[in-house]
Amino acid sequence: MKRFLLLFMIMLTVFSAAFAEAAPEEMLQRLTVPDETPEPAAEPTPVPVLNDDGSLHVDFDLLSPDPEATPIAVDPIDKPTPTPAPTPNYVYEEYVNEQMGISFYVPYTWLLNPNTNLDTTVQFVEPKSEMMEKDGYQTRLTVEKINMGLEQTPADARSHLESALSELEQTFTSFTAGNIASASIGDANGYYCYYKAEYNNGIQNYVMNGRIIIVAEGKALYQVRITTPRAWYSYYEYVFRKVRASLEFL
């Protein structure tokens, strides 16, 4: 019996050694405790790149070369900033017309056109020495009273504005009127419109912008109109606004 146990122990030792030598490497790997999977490192938050003016910088070299994806300027973000026109520094004086029953302020250097019936129409012309566009169109400001005989309404003012625009179209070589919208002068209500025009006298072509407003006051309609060189309209519109704001019915 002792011999049997001794023999069994010897065989077990030999078998264990042989098993260890012959064990596949993959079995040893299974017995090895795997390392913990490392957590992915957090990517840094991208910092936006700004232009000098504080707007977001876009690198167009990184965009897909899509021929139909031509960058389009977004107004006013990507639109080039135009050079601002100077602000006029006029000295105004009050003009009173008893026949027309009105008063308003106008640049004191502007010239009153004598070739009008002052009972119904006054026109002030900018002197050539002050023109912002030399040899261009000479800015004109016109105020007109249209006696109608009956109490007038804003609807009457609009109807007359449409007629006035048709007459202006016949005066210029080309004429384009904008949209008509409601407006007022003091307590008198009516309508106004912007327009573009060109005039060719056979020697020179003049390009202009203008604005006209007609309001109803009592039994009359009153028209205020200014026509200026197109490139300088925003400059001369200060005069139009001054006249409109200061106009009073006597």
| Exposure class string for 2-15: b at 16+ Cβ within 10 A, else e | eeeeeeeeeeeeee
pLDDT in tens, 125-175: 999 999 999 888 999 999 999 999 999 999 999 999 999 999 999 999 999
184 neighbors 215 (Cβ within 8 angstroms): yes
Distance between CA 217 and CA 129 in Å, rounded? 36
pLDDT in tens, 187-234: 999 999 999 999 998 999 999 999 999 999 999 999 999 999 999 999
Q: What is the pLDDT of residue 232?
A: 95
Give the fold, CATH level 3, of 92-249.
Answer: Protein Transport Mog1p; Chain A (3.40.1000)
User: By three-state DSSP, how is residue 6 classified?
Assistant: helix
Q: Is 159 left (phi over 0), alpha (psi -120 to 50) or beta?
A: alpha
Record the pTM: 0.66
Distance between CA 125 and CA 168 in Å, rounded? 18
Distance between CA 132 and CA 236 in Å, rounded? 9
pLDDT in tens, 24-47: 444 444 444 455 555 555 545 444
| Exposure class string for 223-243: b at 16+ Cβ within 10 A, else e | bbbbbbbbebbebbbebbebb
Domain locations in the chain?
92-249
> Residue 13: is its pLDDT beyond 60?
no
Q: What is the pLDDT of residue 51?
A: 47
118 neighbors 99 (Cβ within 8 angstroms): yes
> Which secondary structure element, helix H or strand E, spans residue 108, and what is its range?
none
User: By three-state DSSP, how is residue 246 classified?
Assistant: helix
Distance between CA 131 and CA 72 in Å, rounded? 37
Q: Which residue type sits at 246?
A: S
